[in-house]
Amino acid sequence: MKRRQFIAALGGMAIARPSGLCAQQTRPRIGRLSIGNSRIEDAFRQGLRDFGYVEGQNLLVEYRDAGKTPGQLDAFAAELVALKVDAIVAGSSQTTRAAFDQTKTIPIVTMSTNPVGLGFVASLAKPGGNVTGVSLLGPEVSGKRLQLLKQAIPGVTRIAVIWNPDDPAAHFSVEESQAAAAVLSLKLQVLEGRNADAIDGALQAAMNAQAEAVVLLPTPLLMGSPGRLPVSRCGGGCRHSSLTGKP
């Protein structure tokens, strides 16, 4: 099997098959490390079925989902390494960091923003190491996001940006947003939102500062439970943009 034949099976990721994976055992075991994103999990399972992999028959999957407790990611990653899984599928920069800190030998399939900048791979052309997958254009579109928002709301000057500091890739998006705001003559208010309650508080802070619009930067937290975001907190005092993209 070639390197890219698992693209659909892993929800849009390209996976590098561990050497001798299929020869070692009839039922390979993979680890799935996630943080509460049910939509991606459904696509992951469907993709496996589309490629003829049925859990419990010709494939074993060890699921570890941090859900509301991202502090457990490191422990869950350590569990998967201890189980000696053949590969770990980590669908975000945050989960990839947890897996990468635990192993440099087990293949990790990632869908990450700026994997080079985060040190997961040496380069996109020649990643090396044990990480492969898809690089997302998270930081690169941060400036465009503000530009489109300014076009959509003529005269806007005060924008609040909410980000999750626990997501390692989000730092790059904040930096790009700040650089773009300077060029666009926007006053940017950067607020932290590690969980739904923190986002609630950040929205209140944005309203208190008379922000005219709010941008939610990409993070697995927002992807996992968009319906639970307390965006009504803004009321009519500001407009909110759910341009969260992917983790």
pLDDT at 16: 41
CA distance 213 to 45: 37
Q: How many domains does the chain have?
A: 2
pLDDT for 164 equals: 87
CA–CA separation, 167 and 29 (whole Å): 27
122 lies in the same domain as 205: no
CATH number at residue 153: 3.40.50.2300
Closest CA to 241 of 147, 169, 172: 147
**Domain assignment present for 2:** no
111 and 160 together in one domain: no
Burial label for 39, CB within 10 Å (0-12, 13-18, 19+), is exposed
- Are 51 and 125 members of one domain? yes
Is 247 among the domain residues? no
CA pair distance 138, 156, nearest whole angstrom: 23
Using the 8-state DSSP alphabet, how is residue 230 labeled? -
Domain that holds residue 79: 8-136
Maximum distance among all Cα pairs of the chain, rounded to whole angstroms: 63
Indicate left, alpha or beta for 132 from its phi (over 0: left) and psi (-120 to 50: alpha): beta
Are 93 and 143 in a shared domain?
A: no
Q: Mean pLDDT over all residues of the chain?
A: 79
CA–CA separation, 205 and 197 (whole Å): 13
Which amino acid would we find at residue 63? Y
**pLDDT of res. 143:** 83
pLDDT digits over 53-93, tens only?
989 899 999 999 987 777 899 999 999 999 999 999 998 88
pLDDT above 60: residue 195: yes
- What three-state secondary structure class fits 110? strand
More confident residue, 245 or 52: 52
Band of pLDDT at residue 10, cut at 50, 70 and 90: very low
Q: Side chain identity at 38, as an amino acid letter?
A: S
DSSP sequence for 172-216: HHHHHHHHHHHHTT-EEEEEE-SSHHHHHHHHHHHHHTT-SEEEE
SS3 category, 121: coil
Give per-residue pLDDT as tens, 129-181.
Answer: 999 998 876 676 788 889 888 899 889 999 999 988 888 878 888 888 999 99
How large a percentage of the chain has pLDDT more than 70?
Answer: 74
Q: At what angle do helices 93-102 and 73-82 cross, to 10 degrees?
A: 50
Q: Are residues 224 and 117 in the same domain?
A: no
pLDDT digits (tens, 9 = 90+) for 86-120: 999 998 889 999 999 999 999 999 988 888 888 99
pLDDT over 90 at 186, yes or no: yes
Which one of 82, 102, 136 terminates a domain? 136
C-alpha–C-alpha distance, residues 78 and 161, integer Å? 33
The domain boundary, picked from 136, 160, 190, lies at 136
pTM > 0.85: yes or no: no
Cα–Cα distance list, 177 to 121, 159, 189, 197 (Å): 24, 11, 10, 23
> In terms of Cα–Cα distance, which of 159, 164, 229 is closest to 189?
159
